[in-house]
Amino acid sequence: MPQVTGKKRKGILGAATLVFIIAGLYWGLIKAPPDAYQGDSQRIMYLHIPSILIAYLSFFLVFVGSCLYLWKREKRDDNLAHAAAEIGVLFTALTIIEGSIWGRPTWGVWWTWDARLTLTAILLLIFIGYLMLRALVEDESRAASSAAILGIIGFLDIPLIHMSVYWWRTLHQPPSILRPDKVPWENIHPELLTALAINFVAFVLLYFYMLSHRLRLGEMHEEIKARRMR
Amino acid sequence: MRITVHQLAKAYGYFWALRDLEIQVGGGERVALLGPNGAGKTTLLNLLAGLIYPTRGEIRLDGVPLTRQSNAQRAAIGLLSPGEHLYDDLTARENLEFFTALYDRQRGPISIANAIEETLEAVGLGRWAGEYAGALSSSMKCRLSVAKWKLLSPKLLLLDEPYGVLDGGGVDLLESFLKAQSEQGSVVIIASHHVARVLDLCTRAIILEQGKLIFDETRREPWDSFARAFGAFTPGGNR
Amino acid sequence: MSMWGYVILAYGIVWGAILLYAVALKRRYRAAEHELERLSDVKES
Amino acid sequence: MKLLRQTLLLLRKDLLLELRRHESLMTMFFFGALLLFVFNFSFELTPARVSELAPGLLWLAFLFTGTLGLTQLFEGERGNHCLDALLMSPIDRGALFLAKTCFNIVLMGLVELVVMPLFWILFSLPSWQPLPALFLIVFLGNVGFCVLGTILAAVTLKARARELLLPLVLFPLMVPVILATIRCMEALLRFGELGEALPWLRLLIGFDVIFLTVGILIFDWVVDV
């Protein structure tokens, strides 16, 4: 990626991200009316749902990077997996925090073993395991291939974890209408949907903006190692 | 056995251990692989043994490329590290039984048992057949390794610094074994720092430096090119 | 805590954390650039 | 099938080594029994509650003893670079994976054969009738645990503090097996037969099959730098 256009493209991405973030904040906090059921705490949903999707998106990128690295052994793919995992951990952790803050007024408790919160917590643990593995294996290329294996295994396990947690949840907790995944989407006020859409775009743009910087940082670390080697 | 190494390269992260190697080795040749530490000797041997896979280029054994799927081909390759690759908690005989079974050298159960006994006798370990490998002295362990590879009789024999641990008797045993194998058409490649001894045994010398091949001569010319090769590589010696 | 309190808390934590990460990224970025210059000078001299 | 022959050959070698040294088996067995006593002291186990808690406690004990076994899995290969000797030989790396997985399953199975009846005795559970079916469910759980555990044991082989890293990396991925095994065991204990826990059994078998195939295919990359 030639340096010059890279910088210019990042600039545009950065500007677009900023615009959407501000629009998202304005729409989410001010313009959209409070939700019929949950009142204002529903505004946290504008953060919660985008970050969950970002968490899954970054796990998918880790999977893609890992497969490509095992196949072609190029540092670029390993760098993608590592960058996606690092930012993925941040968004997964934020998702959990948002979820528990959203839960506080609605269920009166900071943490409930709600299917989605539990799932995000497990995702966070897998991410942390992934980053720990990378940190604890000294030899550079062995760390990359070990992390790639874990990235693939972890991704393949997600559907099974998803199924088992949801089955486990339906067993114990009586389904309450206020659960996020039970929200009746049809008769949602259009303003709310636009707020959600704008925030979603803002988060995706932000994610790729941060990812591009983190990738560049990864490349620089490689460059430094190469220089030291010579 | 014919080995062709075509544009071989191996990188660990950003560090290029080997760069575009082009080597052809025919049956019966004994190649001395020389070069300072970190020149890529061990990397080349591991690549030839199929323990690691090249970043670029390929290795062909009798025209068939060595790839991830070529498990069967590895039966013809032996990386001899004297005293290594033996289970300490298995007896000498059990070690040989296990590895002959692993390499599928079961030419009928009776004959394999006799072959094991004969080979143990031949390397002078007849009395210690029931001993645990861990209990053997290091030179006896090396004899056991030679016995093991005699039974497996690979077509490509690779040795990484064998002289370090061998005693006098062990060296003669090893060298006669290598000569015998190469007379039967096997290829022998020895990486070592004991330049004088390895040059004396081998018919060809290859010198690697920082992953590149800088010298490749067979013994056809009399001593002068070897003298130069020998001169070219004395640890710390400059070219 | 009123509803708005939670909303502000959530937004504060989320955007605060993202800002913190951005700052950390920037600092690591600058350190890497500095290291690169140092190494490239060493090569020229 | 060559893969099977090679797997049995390697498994026979591992079992022979274990017979000679019997490090793993003894430590796993005593650790399992020890956990039972620890449970007794840490929980108020009235006979009524014990059959309700039994699945969770048993499976917790097996999870930890299994992890102990996993960290020792490649010890036999540590001396004299024997792992390189196996990688150099013409065997399929999938066979190495299968052999190591079966080896740990055998170890865990032996421990469970003793610890489960011991649990019944110590906590004086009412009926011994569901034990064989329970043992089958626990066996399926073992397979899932050892399949994923062997891959991750090989992956973390060269990491620092690998005994800590292995459980940290393994347990989150084991959630489906843990939930499925415990649900099935609960159904067996309470109703004597699986009944509505059948989907959990299918999930468990699905998990085992998926990661058994993934393991065989991916193991070549695991052991290669």
Flag if A226 and B55 touch (Cβ within 8 Å): no
The burial class, CB within 10 Å (0-12 / 13-18 / 19+), for A32 is buried
Confidence of residue A173 (pLDDT cuts 50, 70, 90): low
The Cα–Cα gap between B60 and B23 comes to: 11
Considering only CB atoms, C7 lies closest to which of A41, A97, A213, namely A41
Work out the number of other CB atoms within 10 angstroms of the CB of residue B94.
20
ipTM summary value: 0.88
Interface test with B, best of D13, D77, D220 (most B CBs within 10 A): D13
Q: Looking at this protein, which amino acid is placed at residue A222?
A: E
Chain length of chain B: 239
Residue D139 is predicted with a pLDDT of 95
The Cα–Cα gap between B53 and B10 comes to: 8
How many CA atoms does the CB half-sphere of A122 hold within 13 Å? 25
CB contacts < 8 A (B, D): 74
Q: Are B9 and B57 in contact (CB under 8 A)?
A: yes
Flag if B12 and A141 touch (Cβ within 8 Å): yes
Per-residue pLDDT of chain D (225 residues; tens, 9 = 90+): 789 999 999 999 999 999 988 888 889 999 998 998 898 888 877 777 777 888 898 999 999 999 999 999 998 888 888 999 999 999 999 999 999 999 999 999 999 999 999 988 888 887 888 888 999 999 999 999 999 999 999 999 989 999 999 999 999 999 999 999 999 998 888 887 877 888 999 999 999 999 999 999 999 888 876
The Cα–Cα gap between A128 and B181 comes to: 53
The Cα–Cα gap between D128 and D126 comes to: 7
Cα→Cα distances A91→A54, A87, A196, A223, D154, Å:
7, 6, 17, 28, 30
By CA distance, what is A222's nearest residue in B? B14
Q: How many helices (H) and strands (E) does chain A have?
A: 6, 0
Residues of D in contact with B86 (CB under 8 A): 80, 82, 85
DSSP A174: P
Q: B15 in contact with D at a CB cutoff of 8 Å?
A: no
Confidence of residue A94 (pLDDT cuts 50, 70, 90): very high
pTM attached to this predicted model = 0.89
Q: B13 in contact with A at a CB cutoff of 8 Å?
A: yes
Distance from CA of A77 to the nearest CA of C (A): 20
* C-alpha closest to that of D177 among D155, D147, D157, D150: D147
Give strand pairing partners of B4.
Answer: B24, B60
Residue A228 is predicted with a pLDDT of 79
Flag if B14 and A141 touch (Cβ within 8 Å): no
The Cα–Cα gap between A185 and A192 comes to: 10
Cα→Cα distances B39→B22, B33, B53, B234, D204, Å:
15, 10, 18, 14, 51
Q: What is the pLDDT of residues A105-150, one digit of tens each?
A: 777 788 888 888 899 999 999 999 999 999 999 888 889 999 999 9
Q: B52 in contact with D at a CB cutoff of 8 Å?
A: yes
Where do the H-state alpha helices sit in C1-45?
3-44
Q: Looking at this protein, which amino acid is placed at residue A89?
A: V
Q: Looking at this protein, which amino acid is placed at residue D120?
A: W
Contacts of C18 (CB under 8 A, 6+ apart): A90, A94, A206
